[in-house]
Structure 1
Amino acid sequence: MTENVACTGAVNAVKEVWEKRIKKHNEDLKREKEFQHTLPSSLLKLNQLQEWQLHRTGLLKIPEFIGRFQNLIVLDLSRNTISEIPPGIGLLTRLQELILSYNKIKIVPKELSNCASLEKLELAVNRDICDLPQELSNLLKLTHLDLSMNHFTTIPLAVVNMPALEWLDMGSNKLEQLPDTIERMQNLHTLWLQRNEITCLPETIRNMKNLGTLVLSNNKLQDIPVCMEEMANLRFVNFRDNPLKLEVSLPPSEGTDEEEERELFGLQFMHTYIQESQRRAALQFCVCHGQILTIYTCMALEI
């Protein structure tokens, strides 16, 4: 009898252990499933958080209650499957960094302009973003903006009018030309425009006095405008893989092969190209001018 009781007790103990394990497993699965759709409301208890980093969770939606986290400084939800940004994001007035790259966002809400402390915004690789609300030009502290690998056909007016912007990446979009108003971006020092469809550069680019890095590789440029020689602060440019009309050769370099390769479509190439372009234009003018003189001379002889 005693043995049967002991055996039953042991079985019950094992059963209780397994029931606890199964319960915990089910709870973990429930939490995991909840995270795959949205942030659980239980997180509201953590409203003193200053930084959130949540990657590769399959997160589909940012909940509207995100605006309750008034102390957030950094919000990084990159590499998820988020399809929209809720208007409540605008309540995060202390937010300095918002990283939403590698998601499925199509529209950026105008309420984001209320994030007055925002300094860094990354929306790269969302694929379908094609415009930004003009209200975003009110982000007076924004210095870093990454819009690469989306569907922009022009630089949005909101971006052109961002007063503090210093670093902009719009590579791998559908840009065909740059607006004449690009000169408004007076604080910009780095501009990435690689892998677009740009055919020409506006003359106003010469007025971007602080621009030091300009990447234009893999576009459809046929010429380098002469005015770019006036850009005294330009330190690095890249015109590689553009169908430029002129073929120019650089003088031999004493540096390493790696340095020569890096320089090939850089600043030295730009200056050499412009000089060759001016020389050919002058030569063509002389030829045309000589032909005009010949015509006038023949007309004089006939008279």
Structure 2
Amino acid sequence: MKKIINYLLIYLLLTSCVRNMSDEELKSAYRVNSGNSNWTEALKYVNEGIRRKPSDTALYFSKALCLKHIDPKKNYSEIIQNLNVFLEKYTNSVSGRILKFANHYDNYQYEDAISEIKQLERYYGISARTLELKADARFLGENFKEAAKTYEKLLFFPLPEQKFLDIYYYKIYSKYFAGNKEGALWDVAFLEDYGYEEDKELLKRITNDSLKIEDYNKLPFITNTQKFTKEITPILGLSYDALFRPVDQLNIYSSPNYTLKDLKTLDKDITILNLNRANISQLPDDIKRFKKLRVLSLSRNKIRDFDKLFTQLSELPKLEFLSLDYNNLKKFPESISKLSQLKGLSIEACNIRELPREIAYLSNLSFLNVGSNGRLKDLPAEIKYLKKLNCLDVSGSGMQRLREELSLCYSLVAIHGNASKIKSIPTTIGNLKLLRHLNLAHNKLEFLPESIGKLMYLKDLSLGSNDIKDLPKSIVKLKNLEHLGLQLNRFKAFPEKVLQLDNLSNLWLHNNSIPRIPIEIGEMKSIKRLLVDHEVITDENIEQIKVKYPNLHINRHDALKLVGGKRRK
């Protein structure tokens, strides 16, 4: 009894000390104890902080962190409760989501763990790290069919050699345990094609059905949130203006325009070199003395030997942006692979018919402009390997589709595809979680895939001058959409799905056969400007909306009057 009383007195004394501390002293004590991994002691200071300021949401993350380190099994439910309070305010917190993932993962709640990674992907896009975590969770949760698919996607990313091999093996295991024995055998047979040794033992075990799930240890999970944040947070390879044009490209035109004669006297430390319209057929070999050159324009010249050119430019270690616009490039040489350091490449109006497969070696490429190449009808399948590609411009090309592999370029922020001949876009375009700008105006589209509703950050969707009759149901999920252009299409009625787009400020509907605009359009939270047809909509309809919603600007507009062409569809 005496011992119990002593413990109680000590507890009361400690509690009293904690309660007498200032807020700054509490924070300092928490930092010291958590830094020394004294989590039980750190928890006391967090609890006191919550008692004083229960509305300070950040404290609930600190409490969850303490509880996780003290006993993740025993404190499982309480950890989740505290993280839910924290994430209600800090929805896109990487640390919060990854801690919740780890808690589910360590307690074998794999589907719940995967849902946290999916939340992160909504905010930051799909990355090699998020795919790996989802694949491992599916494997351990014995959802082998989905695990195999996820490992397959992960292998499209640039990976260290050992990591690639590990993932490849787990893809084999997943296929086998999912019942796809033939697929597993084929993957083992292809090991040599990737430069690895033949695995006769694995081939034998799969053939004899002697491969057992118990043979494989639990996959490790690394809770290094700082590293994880760096890996999943998108990094733009170049600086862009509001229209997603590289700032470097704009800087070229404001820099002096030099000729070949000037190269002999130019400072070797220059970083931008504009040789636009310099009547160049080939560069001198001493171009390599400009070791600090970042931006080079050779647009509107008469270069003949591009194979030699790319070999020369490969000796410029700092070169990031290259413009070859309006050169008669025609056939693209394979030596483009030598420019692996490039972040931006512009080859507008170069008369090219196709891009080489070697484009895949430009692993740092952030911006690619192949616009105004009327003979270019498709991108190579190898486009999928450009995992850092932020902006793709195929406007004014002969492009007849945006191929499915493009949806594996997970860093895409903008696609300019207007004034081409595009009839279809990827059914899996929803994979491009970071996409903000999609311009597909003046093409031959008849419909949009349902997955477009997964583009959570899409702000600008331009679909004018196509053959679209209706919008997919998922369009209502584009809650960040600000501009929607549907002019010059085949709508016979107002697309009421757009009424649910809370952030939409500009809606263009002119040159469609839409007889009436619903009054409810004025109830949209952010709508400011509406362009309607100059003939079909009645004065009475417009006046009704203007009277009820005077702040909404409604304009009758006729695009064909400005640009010419056939009458309204």
The reply to whether TM is greater than 0.5 is: yes
The answer to whether 1:106 aligns with 2:398 is no
Alignment root-mean-square deviation, CA: 2.6
- C-alpha distance after superposition, 1:119-140 (max 9, x if no partner): 010011112x222332222211
Instruction: Give the corresponding residue for 1:162.
Output: 432
**Could you say which structure has the higher helix fraction?**
2
SS in 2 for 1:250: helix
Tell me whether 245-254 or 208-217 shows the greater mean CA deviation.
245-254
Quick check: 1:239–1:265 contact (8 Å CA) kept in 2? Answer: no
Question: Which letter does structure 1 place at the counterpart of 2:365?
Answer: L
> 1-side partners of 2:305 and 2:428: how far apart?
30
Alpha-carbon offset, residue 228 of structure 1: 2.0
* Runs ≥4 residues deviating over 6 A: none
Q: Are 2:510 and 1:243 equivalent residues in the alignment? A: no
Confirm or deny: 8 A CA contact 1:136 1:158 kept in the other structure. no
Consecutive unaligned residues of structure 1, counting only runs of 5 or more, are 1-27, 267-303
Q: Distance in 2 between matches of 1:58 and 1:207?
A: 44
1:42 Cα offset (Å): 4.3
Between the aligned residues of both structures, percent identity stands at: 25
2:332 is equivalent to residue 41 of structure 1: no
Task: Say how many residue pairs are matched.
Answer: 232
1:133 corresponds to: 403
Contact 2:404 2:428 survives alignment (8 Å): yes
d(CA) in 1 for partners of 2:358 and 2:280? Answer: 28
Letter in 2 for 1:65: S
Structure 2 counterpart SS, 1:145 = strand
Change (3 A) 1:72 1:167: same
Compared with structure 1, are the counterparts of its residues 220 and 56 closer, same or farther at alpha carbon in structure 2 (3 Å cutoff)?
same
AA of the residue aligned to 2:389: L
Is 1:214 the counterpart of 2:475? The answer is no
8 Å CA contact 2:307–2:335 kept in 1: the answer is no
Indicate which of 44, 53, 56 corresponds to 2:326. Answer: 56
- Counterpart Cα distance in 2 of 1:30 and 1:99: 22
Q: Which residue of 2 aligns with 1:118?
A: 389
In structure 2, how many angstroms separate the alpha carbons of the residues matched to 1:169 and 1:66? 28
**What SS does the aligned partner of 1:106 have?**
coil
Alignment CA distance shift 1:156-1:265 (3 Å): farther
For residues 64-79 of structure 1, what are the structure 2 equivalents within 5 Å?
64-79=334-349
Distance 1:177 1:38, change over 3 A: farther
| Residues 74-99 of structure 1: CA deviation (Å, up to 9, x unaligned) | 10110220111001111111111101
Aligned to 2:447, the other structure's residue is in SS state coil
Q: How does 1:1-303 map to 2 (within 5 A)?
A: 31=282, 35=302, 39-47=306-314, 48=317, 49-103=319-373, 104-127=375-398, 129-246=399-516, 247-248=537-538, 249-251=541-543, 263-264=554-555
More RCO (CA 8 Å, sep 6+): 1
Instruction: Give the counterpart letter for 1:39 in structure 2.
Output: F
Separation (CA, whole Å) in 1 of partners of 2:391 and 2:378: 18
Q: How many angstroms apart in 2 are the aligned matches of 1:235 and 1:222? A: 22
With normalisation by structure 1, the TM-score equals 0.69
2:497 and 2:330 mapped to 1: Cα distance? 48
CA pair 228-30 structure 1, distance change in 2 beyond 3 A: closer
